[in-house]
Each structure stands twice: as structure tokens, then as C-alpha cells.
Amino acid sequence: MISLALLLASLSGLAWIIKGHADGPAPPAPAAASVSRELTRLDAFSFFVIPGEDFGADHVVVGATGAFAIRVGQATIDGNLRREIARARRAAKRVIQGAGVAAVHTSVRPILCLPGRGFRPRTSRGVKVIPWGQVVSEVAERQRTVTPHQAQRVVEALAGFDSSPLQAS
């Protein structure tokens, strides 16, 4: 009787562990939170950081150096990045579409931030792949190409963007 109770307790514990990992690896919450925290370091007078869910990105940054569709990847630099790169490119296209006529003021650059060990940034299929810790320098250290008024027009256009047509495609 005692051995049966121990067996059932072991099986229920094993089922609890398996259930916790049944959905695959947990999303990289520390990396996503770290990227969000890093983006708060941007100059609030020069950059707007808006949620990017409507565009397929984690964040959209619009500022004096342009617009950026930022995705936080789940894989490390050693993993297969093909899908993550395609999603970042798609997010940038949606940001351009969302900006509408205001997109003429800026270019939208896709950025893929990856967790894990540091690596040298690279560009793959037009997407800048960087460690998450370099997101602020990637955005802020570019040449200033947009006036604050132009950046504000792009942000206003993105804020009024209706993503419902994108959901169907």
C-alpha cells in the first residue's frame, strides 16, 4: 500500500514537471525584459518607444536616427535564425505600411536582438542581428536623419494604425 502511494506521488510529480515544459522552452522573458529596460535609456526627447505587437515586433522605436522594428529572438546566435529574420523583416514592412504617407520621412530598419553570449553584430537579409545589450547603441549612434517633428508625425501615424487588415493576411 505504501509503495503504491509512493508510485502515485512520483508519477504525479513527473506529470507536473512534464506539463510545465509541454509547451516547449519558455520564452526568453529575461531577454525581452532586458531589451525593454535597455530601451528606457534612450533620450526621451529624441526617441519614441511604442509597443510593436500590432506590427509583429516587440518594440518600435522612432527617433532622430530613423525608425526601428525590434524583435527579441528566442534562439541564440548558434541557432537557426531563418524564421526570426523573416519575422523581423515582416515587422519592418508592417511598420512602413502603418506609417502610411508619414513613412516618407524615415526609413524603417529591422533589428533582431538575441539572448545569450555576446557576439559581433551582423546583417542578414537586411536585418541587423545584435546581442540584446547593444540595442541602445544600435539605435542611438546612427547619423541623425529625421527632425523631431518628422519623427512625431511617424509616431502619430503608427498610433492610429488599425492592424485588423494585417490579421487576415
The domain locations on the chain are 27-168
Axis-axis angle for helices 148-159, 82-99 (nearest 10): 100
pLDDT at 90: 96
> Do residues 157 and 165 touch, judged by C-beta distance below 8 A?
no
Sign of CA dihedral 146, 163, 90, 28: positive
State the Cα–Cα distance between residues 30 and 20, nearest whole angstrom: 18
pLDDT at 26: 40
**Alpha helices per DSSP H over 58-116:** 82-99
Classify domain 27-168 by CATH number: 3.40.1350.70
Cell for 35? 531589451
Residue 162 DSSP code: -
pLDDT at 11: 53
Nearest to 53 by CA among 138, 163, 168, 154: 163
- Spans in the chain with pLDDT lower than 50: 4, 6, 16, 20-28, 164-169
pLDDT at 126: 93
pTM of the model: 0.73
